[in-house]
Structure 1
Amino acid sequence: MPRRGEPLTKLGFLTIGRFDEASPREGHLETIEVIQRAEDLGFDSVWLRDRHLQFGISSPVAVMAAAAMKTSRIELGTAVIPLGLENPFRLAEDLATVDLLSDGRVNPGVSVGTPMRYDDYKAALYPDTHDVEDFSKERVLRLLHCLRGDPVSPFEGTVGIENFSRRVQPHSPGLVDRVWYGGGLSSAIWAGQQQLNYLTSSVVTSEGSDSADFATIQGEQIDAYLASHPDPARARVSQGLVVIPTDTATPDQIRRYQDYAESRFERTLTPQGPRKMLFAPDLVGPSDELAEKLYAHAGFQRASEVAFALPFSFEPADYVQIISDMATHLGPALGWTPSA
């Protein structure tokens, strides 16, 4: 665990992969280039957000397939795929295919629950079944069942010249052990019981906690996950916050980054909505100052790796500066060593 004096094991970042509606190809190619740059800088992982009916990545598995052909080492994750919009059987086929193409580098992060703004498009998504779809954790179990290679059909054999398997094909051994799950306290406990890896983010649900402090709540949820895992030494925990190092940033960039963080600060003061969602403040500044704040953060102290979230609305040159400073300044300040 990366407490002061202990090295950070893995450094990664999360991107929304935004694009202009008038030229979506350029935005997707820009994301591929960011992943290539990250590998060159020694990052251990890049994670893709999943956005539907928005101007960000809607098909992270397809983007990972393209990135796999342009890279050789870096891990490719999703944070997260909302399974309410997916068929677990078909998703398992796609994930296994890309995992094999990438030589075992895929880290699927998933979530469940009613999809965001579901009523707006449920008839287009599930014309005949939108009112009876099961958005519970059972959807995760169906995905794990398929990825594990358990039988999904009673038939195996040949019909004419066609050969059929009982399990989803292709099968990628080890992929099921790289599935991640995120959520609040009850989800953390469930993820541990299922021996899934645990994703945290810059948002927590404060239900079940007496604290109003984001870091304390995140730490409590990680503790609950590890206590529920039958083999906590093998469990992976990733912490995600918005962290923007400014070591080589221009004065204009620093001003814009600070304005961005300040515009989002008010939402961090009190829990939001019926689920009492609490947002973490964005961290902006030189890497030595950021390292001090992270070492004091209860969530960071309990994580084995990080995937810092890139802000949504900056320019390509800004992202180059941010990830470059992460790799060359912030990572070393946290005791991290770039991968060869």
Structure 2
Amino acid sequence: MQRFGTLSFGHYGPLGGGRHLTAGDNLHQAIDLAQQMDELGVDGTYFRVHHFAKQHSSPMPLLAAIAAKTTRIEVGTGVIDMRYENPLYLAEEAAAVDLISDGRLALGVSRGSPESVVRGYEAFGYTGSQDPRGADIAREHFDTFLRAISGEGMADADPASPFGGGVGRQRVEPYSEGLRSHIWWGAGSHDTAAWAGQIGVNLMSSTLLTEDLGMPFDELQASQLQTFHDAWREAGHPGRPRTSVSRSVFPIITAQDRMFFGHSQEHGGVGYIDGMRATFGQTYAAEPDVLIEQLRADAAVQAADTLMLTIPSQLGVEFNLHIAESFATHVAPALGWTPTFEK
């Protein structure tokens, strides 16, 4: 394991006992937590994106704010739902964040996860999908986005423009030269993993896979990662791409940890989500020495270079920093990790 970071859904709303976490509270806490994790040496802070829900929905302002207040930590998404995105506007925003962060952006995108509304992307103006889940819209938007961040001209210059429109096809601005290598696709199956390798983007894989091949979750996920690497190599892309997996991992250090997570050990399984048969990953919650052995035995954690820890953001900055610090101090070094300031 070369890197680890946190993955936040950004839940907000009523917390019980008369307490309430607002959207503003949630955003400010995400910035505060990222700053402290940057000092701790954690490699990344990543955010899930869900629309029409009390969670993160517009990540770019948040990523830009974190990038401006940190120096080492990677800022990213896991993942942006491309069904909802204007691909050229996203290209401009992504380039701006990549430039503000000096190349620390890790932008994960995909078709998106199951929604809380019916075809919500149509309310955003993206209609005409021939797929019940809008996958065709997501792929079309992603293709345009990749062309834009690669510097391809997207509109004809107006020679009569008083603003010096130039000649020929014009790219979107700003342009970040290294951005293309900072893009990740969130894959849930062997087919999408192979496709990501073929087109030459990095791969994110979560705690949910959209297929069941009769094998344990970690082995299925590791097989998908290998399919991705094989496709990358066969396509002739240079270098070695990055891969990440996410896990719910809670080191039990204190009595409070045991109160929150002492009964959270889950072993995953198979079920249905969004109309598809799916395989679900497990939750790890144990003392550090037990976690070390469990994660060493997790085939996908061992195969990926980056581990994303899902965190309960509604529990606040102090407690989530405690989770990250406990993992960084008591678990991660035994898996081969070193802090960013030592790399």
TM band (smaller chain): 0.7 to 0.9
For 2:112 and 2:329, the matched residues in 1 are separated by 38
Asked if the contact 2:185–2:202 (Cα under 8 Å) also holds between the matched residues in 1, the reply is yes
Quick one: which amino acid aligns to residue 102 of structure 2?
D
Match in the other structure for 1:161: 163
Matched, 1:271 2:247: no
Match in the other structure for 2:190: 185
Query: Residues 238 and 190 (structure 1 numbering): CA distance in 2 closer, same or farther, change over 3 Å?
Result: same
Asked if the contact 2:53–2:116 (Cα under 8 Å) also holds between the matched residues in 1, the reply is no
Runs of 4+ off more than 6 Å: none
For 1:166 and 1:286, the matched residues in 2 are separated by 56
For 1:15 and 1:276, the matched residues in 2 are separated by 25
% same residue: 29
Asked if the contact 1:104–1:175 (Cα under 8 Å) also holds between the matched residues in 2, the reply is yes
Query: Residues 41 and 157 (structure 1 numbering): CA distance in 2 closer, same or farther, change over 3 Å?
Result: farther
State the shift of 1:113 in Å.
5.8
Match in the other structure for 1:240: 246
Asked if the contact 2:29–2:316 (Cα under 8 Å) also holds between the matched residues in 1, the reply is no
Match in the other structure for 1:317: 318
Match in the other structure for 1:202: 207
Query: Residues 233 and 102 (structure 1 numbering): CA distance in 2 closer, same or farther, change over 3 Å?
Result: closer
Match in the other structure for 1:3: none
Match in the other structure for 1:225: 228
For residues 284-322 of structure 1, the C-alpha deviation after alignment (integer angstroms, 9 at most, x for no partner) is 112221111111111112111211211365344321210
Match in the other structure for 2:3: 10
Asked if the contact 1:84–1:115 (Cα under 8 Å) also holds between the matched residues in 2, the reply is no
Gaps of 5+ in 2: 14-19
For residues 256-277 of structure 1, the C-alpha deviation after alignment (integer angstroms, 9 at most, x for no partner) is 2134x25xx48x2333244211
Quick one: which amino acid aligns to residue 41 of structure 2?
G
Query: Residues 219 and 140 (structure 1 numbering): CA distance in 2 closer, same or farther, change over 3 Å?
Result: same
Quick one: which amino acid aligns to residue 240 of structure 1?
S
Quick one: which amino acid aligns to residue 283 of structure 1?
Y
For 1:222 and 1:161, the matched residues in 2 are separated by 48
Asked if the contact 1:84–1:114 (Cα under 8 Å) also holds between the matched residues in 2, the reply is no
Match in the other structure for 2:179: 175
For 1:171 and 1:292, the matched residues in 2 are separated by 44
Match in the other structure for 1:337: 338
Task: Report the 3-state secondary structure (helix = DSSP H, G, I; strand = E; otherwise coil) of the residue aligned with 1:108.
Answer: strand
Query: Residues 220 and 120 (structure 1 numbering): CA distance in 2 closer, same or farther, change over 3 Å?
Result: closer
For 2:216 and 2:122, the matched residues in 1 are separated by 40
Asked if the contact 2:67–2:101 (Cα under 8 Å) also holds between the matched residues in 1, the reply is yes
Match in the other structure for 1:106: 105
Bigger strand share? 2
Quick one: which amino acid aligns to residue 60 of structure 1?
P
Query: Residues 302 and 331 (structure 1 numbering): CA distance in 2 closer, same or farther, change over 3 Å?
Result: same
For 2:82 and 2:119, the matched residues in 1 are separated by 17
For 1:137 and 1:337, the matched residues in 2 are separated by 36
State the shift of 1:35 in Å.
0.5
State the shift of 1:141 in Å.
1.4
State the shift of 1:83 in Å.
0.4
For 2:300 and 2:162, the matched residues in 1 are separated by 57
For residues 165-219 of structure 1, the C-alpha deviation after alignment (integer angstroms, 9 at most, x for no partner) is 7001000001011100112111100000011101111111224x2x231011111
Query: Residues 123 and 201 (structure 1 numbering): CA distance in 2 closer, same or farther, change over 3 Å?
Result: closer
Matched, 1:19 2:20: no
Q: CA RMSD in A?
A: 2.2
Asked if the contact 1:11–1:307 (Cα under 8 Å) also holds between the matched residues in 2, the reply is yes
Query: Residues 159 and 320 (structure 1 numbering): CA distance in 2 closer, same or farther, change over 3 Å?
Result: same
Asked if the contact 1:197–1:236 (Cα under 8 Å) also holds between the matched residues in 2, the reply is yes
State the shift of 1:115 in Å.
6.4
Gaps of 5+ in 1: 1-7
TM-score (norm 1): 0.88
For 1:16 and 1:113, the matched residues in 2 are separated by 13
Asked if the contact 1:82–1:115 (Cα under 8 Å) also holds between the matched residues in 2, the reply is no
Quick one: which amino acid aligns to residue 215 of structure 1?
D
Asked if the contact 2:91–2:149 (Cα under 8 Å) also holds between the matched residues in 1, the reply is yes
Task: Report the 3-state secondary structure (helix = DSSP H, G, I; strand = E; otherwise coil) of the residue aligned with 2:170.
Answer: coil
For 2:296 and 2:160, the matched residues in 1 are separated by 59
Match in the other structure for 2:283: 282
For 1:232 and 1:276, the matched residues in 2 are separated by 35
Match in the other structure for 1:88: 87
For 1:324 and 1:315, the matched residues in 2 are separated by 14
Query: Residues 117 and 286 (structure 1 numbering): CA distance in 2 closer, same or farther, change over 3 Å?
Result: same
The 5-angstrom pairing of residues 48-59 of structure 1 reads 48-59=47-58
State the shift of 1:72 in Å.
1.3
Quick one: which amino acid aligns to residue 277 of structure 2?
K
Query: Residues 309 and 156 (structure 1 numbering): CA distance in 2 closer, same or farther, change over 3 Å?
Result: farther
Bigger CA drift: 223-232 or 275-284? 223-232
TM-score (norm 2): 0.87
State the shift of 1:253 in Å.
2.7
For 1:113 and 1:102, the matched residues in 2 are separated by 25
